Amino acid sequence: NNGNHYRENFSWMSVSFEGTREEFFSELMAWATECGASCDCFEISNFADEGYGLKAIRDIKAEELFLWVPRKMLMTVESAKNSVLGPLYSQDRILQAMGNVTLAIHLLCERANPSSPWLPYIKTLPADYDTPLYFEEDEVRHLLATQAIQDVLSQYKNTARQYAYFYKVIHVRNTASLLIVCVYVCVNIHLARFLI
């Protein structure tokens, strides 16, 4: 079908990492410690149905500050403005108004950058998510008789509109080639699902 053909055309642009996300947890914790985050009160643990999270490894006192993360570790709209995305961000009012999209494109650009300071974090992100945007056709069919279907269809429609808008913006403005590759990665990993 069209989605598979599209994925095949751009599969060479996908960024993948050797190993499972679990294998990168030690690298994440080492990076966090190196950056000055507090990591001595907890460990990463799998909580079965809930997935991965932090588990205390010692008693934590009431009102004790047991976790802090330096700002330099955070991917923010500010860090996006100071990245390859900056020139596009400064010129596009819609991108400026959509922090979630700014962060998503920023994440994709950093994922495609082999020297990104955020790679230890990015490598530990899940490969997929259990949200309606990622549902297969038969899973969506189960929602047809529910009130949730309107929200799901609205989410599909809004994501498709956002993709169409930013695809056009990036190609019309001839934005830096790295940013174009990042958007193609986004299409390949996330938004091409609409073409299936």
* pLDDT single digits (tens) 127-153: 877 788 888 889 999 999 999 999 999
The mean pLDDT value for 192-196 works out to 39
As a whole number of angstroms, the distance between CA 149 and CA 133 comes to 11
Q: What is the pLDDT of residue 181?
A: 52
The mean pLDDT value for 3-32 works out to 73
46 backbone dihedrals φ, ψ, rounded to 5°: -95, 120
Q: How confident is the model at residue 99 (pLDDT cuts 50, 70, 90)?
A: very high
Specify the pTM: 0.77
Tens of pLDDT, residue by residue over 140-187, are: 999 999 999 999 999 889 988 988 888 787 776 655 444 555 555 454
Residue corresponding to tokens 């992100």: 125
CATH number of 2-9+21-35+70-195: 3.90.1410.10
Q: What is the pLDDT of residue 182?
A: 57
Tens of pLDDT, residue by residue over 29-88, are: 999 999 999 999 999 999 998 899 999 999 999 999 999 999 999 999 999 999 988 988
Instruction: Sketch the domain layout of the chain as residue ranges.
Output: 2-9+21-35+70-195
39 backbone dihedrals φ, ψ, rounded to 5°: -135, 10
16: exposed, middle or buried (Cβ count in 10 Å: 0-12, 13-18, 19+):
exposed
Q: What is the pLDDT of residue 11?
A: 45
Mean pLDDT over each residue of the chain, to the nearest integer: 82
Q: How confident is the model at residue 14 (pLDDT cuts 50, 70, 90)?
A: low
121 vs 191, residue with greater confidence:
121
HEC-encoded secondary structure of 37-75: CCCCCEEEEECHHHCEEEEECCCCCCCCCCCCCCHHHCC
Q: What is the pLDDT of residue 173?
A: 63
Q: What is the pLDDT of residue 108?
A: 86
